[in-house]
């Protein structure tokens, strides 16, 4: 359903239309729920790229797309890249809306949930990117 909606939106409204970007994010999130991490990552990457171009870095939809991508990157074990994404999302949100804003708090909760899941699942601290991720996460949540 989401795939057909995205294709129709691309045809009728164009790739860079805000509704198409919303459809792209919805499909990527649906792919996440199906465990199709590779497809979800690719689609989130495209959505982030287009959202930055169309809406700008500081737009809530762009930040949400970036946050979603960071979550997928964590699931795929791409810790360093996820840390950079989370850092950018939270820093931008703090700059635009402040650290007490509900959007900023939501992004911080997402990061903390990923950290909690990582710890709960007994992930290996010896993975090279883990210290980078933890350092970025701690810096982000303490600012």
Q: Render pLDDT for 84-142 as a digit per residue (tens, 0 to 9).
A: 898 899 999 999 988 888 988 888 888 888 777 766 665 554 555 555 566 665 565 55
**C-beta separation of 137 from 115 below 8 A:** yes
Non-local (6+) Cβ contacts of 73 within 8 A are: 41, 79, 81, 82, 85
Residue 58 has pLDDT above 90, yes or no: yes
Residues 6+ apart with CB under 8 A from 135: 83
**Which residue do the tokens 């909606």 mark?**
5
Question: How does DSSP classify residue 127?
Answer: S
DSSP 126: T
Q: How many CB atoms lie within 10 A of CB 132?
A: 16
pLDDT class of 60 with cuts at 50, 70, 90: very high
Query: What is the pLDDT, as a whole number, of residue 124?
Result: 53
Task: Give the C-alpha separation, 122 to 26, whole Å.
Answer: 30
> How many Cβ atoms are within 10 Å of 109's Cβ, its own excluded?
11
Look at residue 137 in the predicted model and tell me its pLDDT: 57
Average pLDDT over residues 50-54: 96
DSSP characters for 11-35?
HHH-TTSHHHHHHHHHHHHHHHHTT
pTM of the entire predicted model: 0.81
Asked whether residue 59 carries a pLDDT value surpassing 60, the answer given is yes
């Amino acid at each position: 359903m989401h795939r057909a909606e995205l294709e129709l939106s691309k045809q009728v409204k164009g790739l860079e239309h805000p509704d198409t970007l919303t459809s792209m994010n919805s499909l990527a999130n649906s792919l996440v729920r199906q465990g199709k991490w590779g497809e979800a990552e690719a689609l989130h990457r495209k959505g982030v790229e287009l959202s930055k171009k169309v809406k700008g870095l500081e737009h809530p939809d762009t930040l949400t797309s970036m946050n979603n991508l960071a979550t997928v990157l964590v699931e795929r074990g791409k810790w360093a890249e996820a840390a950079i994404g989370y850092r950018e999302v939270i820093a931008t949100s703090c700059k635009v809306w402040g650290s007490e804003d509900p959007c900023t708090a939501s992004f911080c909760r997402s990061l903390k949930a990923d950290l909690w899941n990582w710890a709960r699942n007994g992930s290996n601290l010896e993975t090279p990117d883990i210290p980078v991720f933890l350092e970025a996460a701690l810096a982000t949540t303490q600012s």
